[in-house]
Amino acid sequence: MRYFIHLAYNGRVFHGWQKQPNAPTVQSEIEEKLSLLLRQEIEVVGCGRTDTGVHAKQYYLHFELDQTVETEKLAFQLNAILPKDISIYEVFEVDDQTHARFSATQRTYEYWISTRPDPFAHRLSFLHTKPLNIIAMNEAAQLLLSHTDFECFSKVHTDVKTFNCKITQAVWEERENHKLVFTISADRFLRNMVRAIVGTLLNVGKGKITIDDVQKILNSKNRSEAGESVLAHGLFLTNISYPIK
């Protein structure tokens, strides 16, 4: 039987999602606690990888089990023994064809920027107090929707078969409490892609590059042409879409 877990996590103390030797990760924490509760070795498959320090407001994983479990009880037990930076919302059974990663049809990220110092937000947003041309940043962001190859925003030497992604949303908006948020949705994302896009669009907002320059960066397929990646602690995975959810 295959079970899904719906969860969220604050990435500040983790070296990303994917387990690795001698470093705390979300995957290793969950596998350890699931194995303890179910009294057998459990491996989980996540809906994607998040880098060190990146957060997930919505995340899904699946695991295989040869027995029936009380899903509500398991969710309660996991919350009782997992670190408080990880929260389990729901455990539910799915059919064997539903895959946490490959069945996902769309992913959405948000990048949070604080436009004034805030003692309650500094660990969950990037501080930028100087003026930005948000209109120009949104015009440049719209260029992303007409491209599919995003090698220029991908981490170099990454092991992928294709740099193609279908972006369906890319927009900046000002929110209350002096917050500026970039929202981007796509069928898939490359490693470091969102943070590199944000860094590039911020350069547009600062007047360092033009919208035409962004078009040239996209055409270049060269990571060194794009802007620097912004810090990880302002990035949130906010939504994963499935045919079943």
Last residue of a domain, one of 68, 94, 120: 94
Q: How far apart are CA 12 and CA 118, in angstroms?
A: 17
Number of domains in the chain: 2
Model confidence pLDDT, tens digit, residues 131-181: 999 999 999 999 999 999 999 999 887 778 899 999 999 999 999 999 999
- pLDDT over 70 at 193, yes or no: yes
- pLDDT over 80 at 95, yes or no: yes
Q: Which residues of 156-177 are buried (b: 16+ CB within 10 A; e: fewer)?
A: eeeeeeebebebeebebeeeee
Whether residues 90 and 110 fall in one domain: no
Last residue of a domain, one of 69, 94, 119: 94
Whether residues 65 and 170 fall in one domain: no
User: Model confidence at 182, in pLDDT bands (50, 70, 90)?
Assistant: very high
CATH classification at residue 222: 3.30.70.660
The number of beta carbons lying within 10 Å of the beta carbon of residue 94 is 18
Residues 51 and 232: beta-carbon distance below 8 Å: yes
Whether residues 38 and 156 fall in one domain: no
Over residues 92-110, mean pLDDT: 96
Which active-site residues does the annotation give?
51
Q: pTM score, two decimals?
A: 0.95
Whether residues 89 and 167 fall in one domain: no
Whether residues 128 and 166 fall in one domain: yes
Supply the range of the domain harboring residue 230.
106-241
Half-sphere exposure (Cβ direction) of 237: Cα atoms closer than 13 Å: 31
- pLDDT over 90 at 24, yes or no: yes
Whether residues 147 and 112 fall in one domain: yes
Residue 99 lies in a domain: no
Whether residues 35 and 147 fall in one domain: no
- pLDDT over 90 at 68, yes or no: yes
- pLDDT over 80 at 244, yes or no: no
CATH classification at residue 37: 3.30.70.580
Residue 63, judged by CB atoms within 10 A of its CB (0-12, 13-18, 19+), counts as: buried
Whether residues 149 and 233 fall in one domain: yes
Q: Which two tokens stand for residue 198?
A: 């944000």
Whether residues 126 and 232 fall in one domain: yes
DSSP single-letter state for residue 234: G
Q: How far apart are CA 229 and CA 86, in angstroms?
A: 26
Whether residues 113 and 158 fall in one domain: yes
The number of beta carbons lying within 10 Å of the beta carbon of residue 30 is 24
Half-sphere exposure (Cβ direction) of 219: Cα atoms closer than 13 Å: 6
Whether residues 227 and 119 fall in one domain: yes
Task: List beta partners, residue 189.
Answer: none
Last residue of a domain, one of 60, 94, 128: 94
User: Model confidence at 60, in pLDDT bands (50, 70, 90)?
Assistant: very high
User: Model confidence at 243, in pLDDT bands (50, 70, 90)?
Assistant: confident
Whether residues 38 and 120 fall in one domain: no
Q: How far apart are CA 119 and CA 112, in angstroms?
A: 15
Residue 101 lies in a domain: no
Residue closest to 8 by CA, chosen among 63, 88, 90, 78: 88
